[in-house]
Structure 1
Amino acid sequence: MSDPIIELKHVSRVFRMSSGTKWQRIMTSLGLINNSENIQEFWALRDINLQIAPGHRLGIIGRNGAGKSTLLRIIAGLLQPSEGSVLVRGNVETMMHLGTGFHPDLTGRQNVKAALAHKGIFGKEAADTLEEIIDFTELDEFFDMPLRTYSSGMNARLGFATATAVKPEVLIIDEVLGAGDAYFASKSYERMRRLTSSGATVLFVSHDMSAVEQLCDDAIWLERGQLKSSGSTIDISRAYAASVRREEQLRMKLRNSMLGAKNFSALKNRLDHPFQLIVRIFVEEGNLDVSEATLLSGEDEIGSVVVGAPQDSNYREIAFALVDNELGRWSKPKQDQDGRFFRSISSKSAAPGSGAIVYNLDFIDIDQEWSFTALVREGKGQIQVWDGKTYTSIADFKAGSEFCPVEISIPKAILASFLASEGIDVPSQTLPPSSVPDMETNPPVETLSTTGEIEVATQTEIAALEGSADQAARSRMLELDVKSSMITITDVLLEDASGDEQTHFLSLQPMRIRIRYNAMAEVERPEFAVTFYREGVCALQVLSGDVPSNPGVISAGSKGEAVIEFPSLPIGRGSYMVSVAIFPQSVRTDRSGDHIAYALLDRRFQIKVAQPEDDLIDRGIARGPSMWSFSGT
């Protein structure tokens, strides 16, 4: 068996950043002063072990900031590891940035000639290679134009063709092929397959899982600078996609629960600007070791960070340790004999110590029970939560000589105060009467246009629907945009074929929507409607009057359920907002264009539709039933 062409043993990489003054940073870099208290460490990689055989195609996947590019730069020799060893047996070609090594004022031809000369290729060999590159790139007259006139896709063509014209022993590609079109990507994959069949090794980074599956034999999954998993490309890509999907489902579930809030119009503008909920562990005297810290909403894990692990201070993650000596006293990362990562909090010179954990949240559902759990050891501490004005203490604890969990419930009043500081009012029915002042209600009026799209005439709030205490969360989510004295919507369930509530569905697979209602007065032939919006445009609308089973007369005081079944969901992949409504029968026949709804939940639910894994053809947005017939001799 041949030796691995790439071998990494316990490779780690740390970046150190100084938070002192400019003068302190200069003096520290020259070694003239010790400024260690103001040095923050960011571990981009930690303890990576990897062996790659010659002729192998390895995919590297992970979220942004996971350490993929740092790993590639170390393998390419562009960056030295802080710990561990790297051995690469062969020459390396890299494509990590568009136009690397090219001059923007030179033509494509001139840049290629310079690149070939740099590789030691001259004369007839250079001329033949140049012609091969011209044929492969298909840039035509652009080949003799300055590089600054190229698009990103043209840059990718020229860079890839030049890097692979002379067979490298190791080819590293980091995302850049994503700038090209599908036709050129297909040509590139075929060339890489030919290179690997002749012994070249390819390391390929992409967020396009289908591209990784098409090209790579195996894959590794990096998360927060650590090797989370490795194996066959199919297994790893599916596990990674499932992880991303679970995170998206949780965030979408929280988002849907907030879309009925009083400040919906304000929330729409900040859905992608998360709240930052801060939990602080306060140590008045002595030391305290802290490891994993987790925030829960009900039984759902919102975010978790292993304190002291690589990238524990990465602010792009949902949860991170706020490592800032101005705001806390976290020690440098540590690891015990069992391999557990942690940091310590220390009080100094009678001054208390503290360490903060920050959670980046899309929203906070006040109806859920929120709690915080941390693994702690050897010390006494206090859990505090930022309420928007100050840190409020919620519990004291004492930890023994072994790591053990401390579990603390976060009071709703603190969360309400925090939301209020962010400009989000909390409906009074979700909190004790003394927590929030009463709110006045003023029902809006909304209409359904003859084109089937919902238009808002006024935007004010009404009280939440009546419901039992254990349905408080769903009731607030279902606050109506229109409140009628005749019939109300009490519950909406979006289910898959198994009857489980979901926010993610597959195109052309089953979906079920249940609409539960209470009738306060007699309603004659109500029209139930479900509308799917994509980027503000009505993609699909279904009306209950289209089927014979539509109810005739709903009597006063009755409760019921309208169910729409999609045996094959007829919309393509994408993100959709879903509206649910109940209208009078006249919605179909009145040509005035304005129809007051009995009940309306306007774009209150967000779902995501994905393509089935075994269907690689994009069939567009509309996927209605059709029938083929054939004839001939």
Structure 2
Amino acid sequence: MGAIYVVNLGKAYKQYPTRWSRLGEWMLPFKGPRHKLKWVLQDINFQVAAGEAVGLIGINGAGKSTLLKLITGTSQPTTGSVHMTGRVAALLELGMGFHPDFTGRQNVYMSGQLLGMTVEEISELMPQIEDFAGIGDYMDQPVRVYSSGMQMRVAFSVATARRPDILIVDEALSVGDAYFQHKSFDRIRQFRKQGTTLLLVSHDKQAIQSVCDRAILLDGGHLAREGKPEEIMDYYNAMIAERENDTVRQAELDNGKVQTISGTGEATVTDIALIDENGERVEVVDVGAPVTLEVTVQAKAPIPRMVLGYMIKDRLGQPMYGTNTHLKELPLDGVAPGDKVVYRFNFAMNLGPGTYSVATAIVSTDTHLVNNYEWRDLALVFTVMNLRRPHFEGSAWLDPSIEISRP
């Protein structure tokens, strides 16, 4: 079983004012340093327990790739240490370690040996690697003629040909086609069930929330926050929207979940409820039952154009359905301070049994990145139960009519 221990990890690079300063420091060391340290990472501390899956997120430049290089040993830390147990397989930069003039097959042998496999083991696993990569005759062509997706297919196939104790995956999977991404994540989930420890770097909210037990947010080279994937991803998305304004806040609800709220506060949701066909507020809804999502918004400042959107998410935070009044061509113009607006969205609850939440957004267009008046996660939590329908699996009620013929 593999585990990762990161203690007081830091990485700094030397910055010299001129190229002659570097030479002077090397030639005249007794005159002291002539550089300044540029810290890329500082004071990073965390552990990944055996069998745990942890997602690593952060904006570009936050230090994610540097951290993975320090963990895997391809770069040396300035401070602190990393300790890992078990056999490690890592997919970092796309095509890292591949020689462009070697064929895919030759690179498989080279990469496999770097992962600790013998030539005999690689030869034995080669049919499986070729089949999973699925690039056909290109396996015997130089890597320089490969697309980025083909390189990723080969790299992932060889890195996961044997189940590792620790699997570390950077953004590499994001360049693949949808089919291979599904295939890759199926293999990752299979490894997880067998006890592989996973460290995954991705901007894909669904990937982080469906695969990981915990998420870590890096910001400016520091470990900014860690916790449940849904909580951290909500905070990360709000942080992106509010990069210019420090208006992101979180609060723990009575059910133990952490709610993220961001925005200028110029408008706010004062009430939200699910209403059944009898006009009653409900927290439990039958599969397929007609409901109304009623949202009351109060304006606190002049709003030239107001749009309300909502997103229904499952218990892992994955989106089930979302829309807004911009997409429905029903924005409100000239909303004045003190105005109250009640929105009613009528639909059939065609979701599978489970617990769901509703996130709301008050904006001016179809995105919260322009004018984010308020973005509220976990604005409402409700449960769907199957009280009258035949048993079915999945997150949506898509009951078919069936025709069978025996010609």
TM range (shorter): 0.5 to 0.7
2:79 corresponds to which letter in structure 1? E
Residue 508 of structure 1 aligns with which residue? 323
User: 1:216, 1:31 → 2: CA distance?
Assistant: 51
Residue 335 of structure 1 aligns with which residue? none
Residue pair 1:95, 1:173 contacting (<8 A) in 2 also: yes
1:165-564 equivalent positions in 2, closer than 5 A: 165-247=161-243, 301=246, 492-496=304-308, 507-510=322-325, 513-516=331-334
Residue 156 of structure 2 aligns with which residue? 160
User: 1:82, 1:140 → 2: CA distance?
Assistant: 44
Shift of the 629–71 alpha-carbon distance from structure 1 to 2, 3 Å rule, reads closer
Deviations 1:505-524 (A, max 9, x none): x942456633349xxxxxxx
User: 1:31, 1:188 → 2: CA distance?
Assistant: 53
Shift of the 86–516 alpha-carbon distance from structure 1 to 2, 3 Å rule, reads closer
Residue pair 1:24, 1:35 contacting (<8 A) in 2 also: no
Shift of the 239–564 alpha-carbon distance from structure 1 to 2, 3 Å rule, reads closer
Shift of the 138–28 alpha-carbon distance from structure 1 to 2, 3 Å rule, reads same
The root-mean-square deviation of aligned C-alpha atoms, in Å, is: 3.8
Residue 389 of structure 2 aligns with which residue? none
Residue pair 2:3, 2:49 contacting (<8 A) in 1 also: yes
Residue 388 of structure 2 aligns with which residue? none
Residue 386 of structure 2 aligns with which residue? none
Residue 58 of structure 1 aligns with which residue? 54
2:86 to 77, 86, 90: 90
Instruction: Give the SS at the match of 2:38.
Output: strand
User: 2:57, 2:400 → 1: CA distance?
Assistant: 45
* Structure 1, gaps ≥5 residues long: 251-299, 304-470, 475-490, 499-505, 518-560, 569-575, 579-604, 615-627
User: 2:28, 2:401 → 1: CA distance?
Assistant: 82
Shift of the 196–33 alpha-carbon distance from structure 1 to 2, 3 Å rule, reads same
1:233 corresponds to which letter in structure 2? P
User: 2:334, 2:96 → 1: CA distance?
Assistant: 59
The CA deviation at 1:116 is: 3.1
* Farther-moved stretch of structure 1 (76-85 vs 151-160): 76-85
User: 2:127, 2:403 → 1: CA distance?
Assistant: 48
2:216 corresponds to which letter in structure 1? I
Residue pair 1:510, 1:565 contacting (<8 A) in 2 also: no
Residue 139 of structure 2 aligns with which residue? 143
2:11 to 10, 13, 17: 13
1:493 corresponds to which letter in structure 2? R
The CA deviation at 1:221 is: 0.7
The normalised TM-score by structure 1 is 0.42
Residue pair 2:306, 2:333 contacting (<8 A) in 1 also: no
The CA deviation at 1:160 is: 0.5
User: 1:53, 1:19 → 2: CA distance?
Assistant: 43
1:28 corresponds to which letter in structure 2? E
Share of identical aligned residues, percent?
33
User: 2:306, 2:364 → 1: CA distance?
Assistant: 12
Instruction: Give the SS at the match of 2:82.
Output: strand
The CA deviation at 1:88 is: 1.4
The CA deviation at 1:113 is: 2.4
Shift of the 577–83 alpha-carbon distance from structure 1 to 2, 3 Å rule, reads same
User: 1:130, 1:629 → 2: CA distance?
Assistant: 43
User: 1:565, 1:199 → 2: CA distance?
Assistant: 48
User: 1:243, 1:18 → 2: CA distance?
Assistant: 33
Instruction: Give the SS at the match of 1:165.
Output: coil
Residue 287 of structure 2 aligns with which residue? none
User: 2:126, 2:199 → 1: CA distance?
Assistant: 25
User: 1:172, 1:497 → 2: CA distance?
Assistant: 36
User: 1:91, 1:497 → 2: CA distance?
Assistant: 47
Residue pair 2:213, 2:228 contacting (<8 A) in 1 also: yes
The CA deviation at 1:122 is: 2.6
User: 1:97, 1:15 → 2: CA distance?
Assistant: 20
Residue 112 of structure 1 aligns with which residue? 108
The CA deviation at 1:153 is: 0.6
The CA deviation at 1:245 is: 2.8
Shift of the 210–49 alpha-carbon distance from structure 1 to 2, 3 Å rule, reads same
Larger Rg: 1
Instruction: Give the SS at the match of 1:16.
Output: strand
1:38-57 equivalent positions in 2, closer than 5 A: 38-57=34-53
The CA deviation at 1:85 is: 2.4
Residue pair 2:307, 2:324 contacting (<8 A) in 1 also: no
Instruction: Give the SS at the match of 2:160.
Output: helix
Residue pair 1:46, 1:226 contacting (<8 A) in 2 also: yes
The CA deviation at 1:55 is: 1.7
Instruction: Give the SS at the match of 1:100.
Output: coil
1:494 corresponds to which letter in structure 2? M
Residue pair 1:99, 1:155 contacting (<8 A) in 2 also: yes
The normalised TM-score by structure 2 is 0.63
The CA deviation at 1:45 is: 1.4
The CA deviation at 1:241 is: 1.6
Residue 275 of structure 2 aligns with which residue? none
The CA deviation at 1:184 is: 0.7
Residue 290 of structure 2 aligns with which residue? none
The CA deviation at 1:120 is: 3.9
Residue pair 1:133, 1:162 contacting (<8 A) in 2 also: yes
Residue pair 2:309, 2:322 contacting (<8 A) in 1 also: no
Residue pair 1:509, 1:567 contacting (<8 A) in 2 also: no
Residue 32 of structure 1 aligns with which residue? 29
2:323 corresponds to which letter in structure 1? L
User: 1:206, 1:31 → 2: CA distance?
Assistant: 45
Shift of the 143–494 alpha-carbon distance from structure 1 to 2, 3 Å rule, reads same
The CA deviation at 1:497 is: 7.5
Deviations 1:24-67 (A, max 9, x none): 2122145535364x522221111111111112211100111111
The CA deviation at 1:134 is: 0.6
Residue pair 1:98, 1:152 contacting (<8 A) in 2 also: yes
Deviations 1:366-409 (A, max 9, x none): xxxxxxxxxxxxxxxxxxxxxxxxxxxxxxxxxxxxxxxxxxxx
Residue pair 1:514, 1:564 contacting (<8 A) in 2 also: no
The CA deviation at 1:115 is: 2.7
User: 2:160, 2:402 → 1: CA distance?
Assistant: 50
Shift of the 606–84 alpha-carbon distance from structure 1 to 2, 3 Å rule, reads closer
Is 2:68 aligned against 1:72?
yes
Instruction: Give the SS at the match of 1:508.
Output: strand
The CA deviation at 1:151 is: 0.5
User: 2:226, 2:26 → 1: CA distance?
Assistant: 38
**When the two structures are aligned, how many residues end up with a matched partner?**
295
User: 1:80, 1:151 → 2: CA distance?
Assistant: 31
User: 1:40, 1:630 → 2: CA distance?
Assistant: 71
User: 1:140, 1:224 → 2: CA distance?
Assistant: 43
